[in-house]
Chains A and B, each alone.
Chain A
Amino acid sequence: MADQKGTDAHTLEQVLESALGSVDNAEEAVLEEARHLGFDEDDLHKIGMSVRECLVNAVVHGNRYNRRKKVHLKVVRTPDCLTIVIGDEGDGFDPAKVPDPLEGDNLLRGSGRGVMLMQAFMDEFQVSQRSPQGTEVRMLKCRAKSE
């Protein structure tokens, strides 16, 4: 994961309720940061959808809609890249245990494609254990270098 710390970094942090309404709010907040960086419409869609998928996982699978548990959003904007960190307070999550949605009968499953889409849309995607409890997802997207 690239180091996003630096004097030019701008950081946004929010603590969100474990409700689906948080998904739209987080998506819009991250997209506002992404627009500052000048991402094109296609990349904005990929970033927004990755945030949406990640927030849904945090609210539904991580915190299981538990109102006492929060979702933690952090966005770090540097001149070329956006780092998005989303944490929940759930029981933890091992991405290696997610069935491959491209494999055999899994193709016809009604769910289980979110992680794959985030991996496809973002430049970097990492899952780790959050302290003291839960899961933290860190995603990075950088602007394409102009010729």
Chain B
Amino acid sequence: MSVKLTSRQVGDVTVVDAAGRITLGEGASSFRDTIRDLAASGHKKLLLNLAEISYIDSSGIGELVSAFTSLANQGGVVKLLNLTKRVQDLLQITKLYTVFEVHNDEAKAVQSFQ
């Protein structure tokens, strides 16, 4: 299974529920296209819910970083929600926990954008 991305609106925050694998190829490009389309249509506050992500490789990590920098360049914000232990470990190894704001509670995460 590649990645499945579903977006929903909570106030002015767009929550993107991601499930499956974000790896080089279809998964990473599908993720990149979704983020690009959301930003292009004016969704600049993105909360990426990674609870159902089963696998992410360095390309997937790269896509998370690209989403962060791309939205920041457009005056937007990307935050992460519900990391699995493995994604947490990857953010530790890559020091990206110093870049991303990470939440475990959706309501509090949404509130943090205000």
Contacts and interface: CB of A to CB of B under 8 A. Distances in A.
B62 A111 contact: yes
A114 interface: yes
B57 A49 contact: yes
Contacts of A110: 62-63, 65-66, 69
25 contacts: A20-B25, A23-B24, A49-B55, A49-B57, A52-B57, A53-B57, A53-B58, A56-B57, A101-B94, A102-B95, A107-B65, A107-B94, A107-B95, A107-B98, A107-B99, A108-B68, A109-B62, A109-B65, A110-B63, A110-B65, A110-B66, A110-B69, A114-B58, A116-B94, A117-B93
Nearest to B72: A108
B93 A111 contact: no
A79 to B, nearest CB: 28
B30 interface: no
A12 interface: no
B34 interface: no
Interface of A: 20, 23, 45, 49, 52-53, 56, 60, 101-102, 107-111, 113-114, 116-117, 120
A116 B62 contact: no
Contact of A20 (B24, B62, B69): B24
Interface residues of B, number: 22
A110 B73 CA distance: 14
Nearest to B32: A110
Contact of A113 (B25, B62, B68, B69): B62
B94 A56 contact: no
Contact of B58 (A20, A102, A111): A111
Contacts of B95: 102, 107
B23 interface: yes
Nearest to B68: A108
A96 B71 CA distance: 32
User: For A20, A23, A49, A53, which residue has the most chain B Cβ atoms within 10 angstroms?
Assistant: A49
B82 interface: no
